[in-house]
């Protein structure tokens, strides 16, 4: 094995993260760059331009995912993929996604500048629609690679304005060819901000991520008796809002009865018609539950649904529950997790191993190739908000570790 090494350019990396954050920038310092919007197109164009300047060849697949290839010594060998996503949630942060894509680009740029050409090609990846906010479900582009969804299903997803994923790919000029998907992949690595408070609380800049909690998303529809708020004695009501509220509280209490990192969250709750002086006819709410084992996820999810049905029955409200996304827990490749830990150790960087609590494209990639993630400490644990922040030093340390791991894997026979 060669003993090559490269030092990444931390200043350039951080400057690019800031430049990318200008696209879709919000007044409070965050980013709104929903997938396949004009902002996403501009982010893709900028990434494409940087890749071109770095001498990389960019392909786009049928899901709109970009792959920027740094050719290896043996082009026939399956490449190492490194990346993340450039789309954001509404009023999201500047690091969730872009930090991983731009660190991967920095790694490859640093290798090239130092004349290091590993045995295997390295491809920097920008996955389409990681967030799944505009087009649900999330992470559909990697899911298609893993055979979990058909391209036709994904292309026909509609946003709330009725526009489809496929139409929007065409509109922004990013519908590529199925032939541009990666074939066999040697490994997939993804650097990402932690998005939680664990590393900050532990005083650690990075973590080697061993896996991802399983995530189940439900949509709960409650139908009660729409009625004027005044002349409806309390004892006669079938109030969908009260039922929904009790479900929100019950889900929280249920999750609290489990150890971390088990969580349950209601982020969306929509009463219809939603006016001040009427008991709503219908309330639709989302429920997001997460657990690190398949059995645990099934258990908490079943218990939450059972409680919701019991509450609905008590309130005299009809209930329908649909599972809209169901991602089993992910167990990453042990060898790559160890490699991240070893690279951190070799640099004297304190670290830990942990289970991620948010979905990432790495979960689907793990189904088709050895995969692992590297987490960067997040200020205050805040993410999916405009005040999302990291320390620049943490990003640079993480980039060095990623670079070391990528180089090792790309040199493998």
Q: Which residues contact 222 (CB under 8 A, 6 or more apart)?
A: 240, 243, 244, 247, 282, 283, 284, 285, 312, 317, 318, 319
Q: Which residues contact 373 (CB under 8 A, 6 or more apart)?
A: 189, 190, 191, 192, 209, 212, 332, 356, 360, 362
| Cα angle 170-38-215, degrees, rounded to a multiple of 5 | 85
Residue 230, classified by CB atoms within 10 Å of its CB into exposed (0-12), middle (13-18) or buried (19+), is: exposed
* CB of 151 or CB of 381, closer to its own copies: 381
CB of 410 to its own copies, least distance (A): 29
* CB of 100 or CB of 132, closer to its own copies: 132
Query: Could you give the count of Cα atoms lying within 13 Å of 380 in the half-sphere of its Cβ?
Result: 9
Of residues 198 through 257, those in contact with its own copies by CB under 8 A are 198, 213, 215, 217, 225-236, 239, 241-242, 244-246, 248-249, 252, 255-256
* Nearest alpha-carbon partner for 245 in 227, 275, 222: 222
CB of 279 to its own copies, least distance (A): 6
Contact flag: residue 347 with its own copies (CB under 8 A)? no
Site map (CB under 8 A) of its own copies, residues 269-308, x = contact: xxx-xxxxxxxxx----x-x-x------------------
Of residues 148 through 207, those in contact with its own copies by CB under 8 A are 194-198
CB of 201 to its own copies, least distance (A): 9
CB of 173 to its own copies, least distance (A): 27
H or E segment and range at residue 219: strand 214-223
DSSP state of 380: G
Query: Could you give the count of Cα atoms lying within 13 Å of 12 in the half-sphere of its Cβ?
Result: 15
CB of 298 to its own copies, least distance (A): 18
CB of 219 to its own copies, least distance (A): 8
* CB of 193 or CB of 409, closer to its own copies: 193
* CB of 88 or CB of 103, closer to its own copies: 88
Pairing, β 282-291 against β 263-265: antiparallel
* CB of 151 or CB of 197, closer to its own copies: 197
Could you say which of 382, 389, 391, 411 contacts its own copies (CB under 8 A)? 382
Whole-number Å distance between alpha carbons of 299 and 291? 9
CB of 6 to its own copies, least distance (A): 30
Give the tokens for residue 38: 């004009």
Contact flag: residue 24 with its own copies (CB under 8 A)? no
Of residues 354 through 373, those in contact with its own copies by CB under 8 A are 356-359
* CB of 50 or CB of 217, closer to its own copies: 217
Give the tokens for residue 260: 């971390």
* CB of 4 or CB of 278, closer to its own copies: 278
* CB of 19 or CB of 253, closer to its own copies: 253
Whole-number Å distance between alpha carbons of 187 and 406? 9
Total chain residues near its own copies (CB under 8 A): 72
Of residues 52 through 71, those in contact with its own copies by CB under 8 A are none
* CB of 105 or CB of 284, closer to its own copies: 284
Q: Which residue has the tokens 């109030």?
A: 239
Contact flag: residue 265 with its own copies (CB under 8 A)? yes
| Omega cis (within 30) before 171 | no
């Amino acid at each position: 094995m060669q003993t090559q090494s490269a030092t990444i350019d931390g200043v350039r990396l951080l400057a690019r993260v800031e430049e990318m954050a200008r696209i879709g920038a919000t007044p409070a310092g965050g980013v709104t760059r929903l997938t396949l919007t004009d902002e996403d197109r501009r982010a893709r164009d900028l990434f494409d331009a940087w890749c071109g300047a770095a001498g990389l060849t960019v392909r786009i697949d049928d899901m709109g995912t970009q792959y920027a290839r740094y050719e290896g010594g043996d082009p026939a060998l399956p490449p190492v993929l490194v990346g993340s996503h450039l789309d954001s949630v509404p009023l999201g942060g500047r690091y969730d996604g872009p930090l991983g894509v731009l660190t991967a680009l920095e790694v490859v740029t640093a290798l090239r500048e130092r004349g290091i050409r590993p045995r295997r090609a390295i491809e920097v990846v920008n996955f389409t629609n990681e967030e799944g906010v505009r087009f649900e479900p999330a992470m559909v582009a990697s899911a298609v690679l893993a055979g979990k969804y058909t391209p036709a299903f994904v292309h026909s997803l509609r946003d709330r304005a009725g526009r489809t994923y496929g139409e929007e790919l065409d509109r922004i000029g990013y519908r590529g060819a199925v032939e541009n998907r990666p074939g066999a992949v040697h490994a997939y690595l993804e650097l990402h901000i932690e998005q939680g408070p664990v590393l900050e609380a532990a005083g650690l800049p990075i973590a080697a991520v061993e896996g991802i909690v399983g995530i189940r998303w439900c949509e709960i529809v409650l139908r009660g008796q729409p009625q004027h708020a005044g002349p409806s004695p309390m004892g006669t009501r079938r109030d969908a809002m009260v039922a929904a509220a009790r479900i929100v509280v019950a889900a929280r209490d249920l999750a609290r009865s489990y150890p971390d990192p088990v969580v349950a969250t209601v982020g969306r709750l929509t009463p219809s018609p939603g006016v001040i002086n009427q008991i709503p006819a219908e309330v639709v709410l989302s429920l997001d539950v997460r657990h690190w084992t398949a059995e645990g996820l099934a258990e908490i999810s079943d218990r939450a649904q059972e409680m919701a049905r019991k509450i609905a029955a008590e309130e005299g409200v009809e209930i329908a529950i649909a599972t809209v996304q169901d991602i089993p827990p992910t167990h990453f490749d042990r060898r790559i997790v160890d490699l991240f830990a070893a690279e951190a150790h070799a640099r004297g960087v304190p670290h830990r191993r942990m289970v991620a609590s948010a979905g990432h494209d790495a979960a689907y990639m793990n189904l088709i190739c050895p995969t692992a993630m590297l987490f960067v400490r997040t200020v205050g644990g805040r993410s999916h908000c405009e005040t999302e922040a990291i320390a620049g030093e943490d990003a640079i340390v993480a980039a060095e570790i990623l670079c070391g791991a990528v180089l090792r894997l790309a040199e493998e026979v």
